[in-house]
Amino acid sequence: MTGYLDPFIRGVDHHLLADIKKAIQGEYNAIHCYQLLAEQAPSSKERKQILEIREDEIKHYNQFINLYYRLTGKRLKPQVTESCPSNYLEGLKFSIEDEQETVDFYLEISDKAKESYIRKLFKRAAKDEQNHAVWFLYFYTKYCCKKAK
């Protein structure tokens, strides 16, 4: 036994592996950007919530990277590939859009996956991402309404 699940033996779709790799990269970028966003947050409550969201992203990253390793026997070394917005409001807007796109992407992965473990993993992550989008939308609306007064 080699310690990993060979995708040819397991019948893993190589498109699925590419999607998992993309998900890993996306989580890695989010971890980086949310640290910067938390540092820009105008209140300790918002900072705390953004850091909690970042912890969820770290959890997803670890789950996905471990899944990729189990399926391929290879360790990925992602790099930050996206620049983060430089101000808080733009960061919130970017995060809302990114989280919503990620929900759709993870649900697509879940739908394509043959193994129930992978389906459940990505459905759970999609739910987390939707929750993150709601928090970012709340902060964005709060910030915009306060600014408009």
Q: What is the C-alpha to C-alpha distance for residues 144 and 93, in angstroms, rounded to an integer?
A: 11
Rounded mean pLDDT, 33-48: 97
For the chain, domain boundaries: 10-148
Q: Tokens standing for 2? A: 């080699």
- The long-range contacts involving 99-103, CB below 8 angstroms and separated by at least 24 positions, are 99/129, 99/130, 99/132, 99/133, 99/136, 100/129, 100/130, 100/133, 102/26, 102/126, 102/129, 103/129, 103/130, 103/133
Q: What is the C-alpha to C-alpha distance for residues 67 and 15, in angstroms, rounded to an integer?
A: 15
Q: What is the C-alpha to C-alpha distance for residues 89 and 124, in angstroms, rounded to an integer?
A: 28
Degrees (nearest 5) of the Cα angle 76, 81, 84?
135
Q: Hey, what's the torsion of the CAs at 51, 52, 58, 59, to 10 degrees?
A: 170
pLDDT at 37 > cutoff 80: yes
Fold of 10-148: Ferritin (1.20.1260)
pLDDT at 149 > cutoff 70: no
Q: What is the pTM of this model?
A: 0.89
pLDDT at 127 > cutoff 60: yes
pLDDT for residue 21: 97
Rounded mean pLDDT, 106-110: 97
Q: What is the C-alpha to C-alpha distance for residues 23 and 115, in angstroms, rounded to an integer?
A: 17
- What value does the mean pLDDT of the chain take? 91
Placement of tokens 């459940």 in the chain: 120
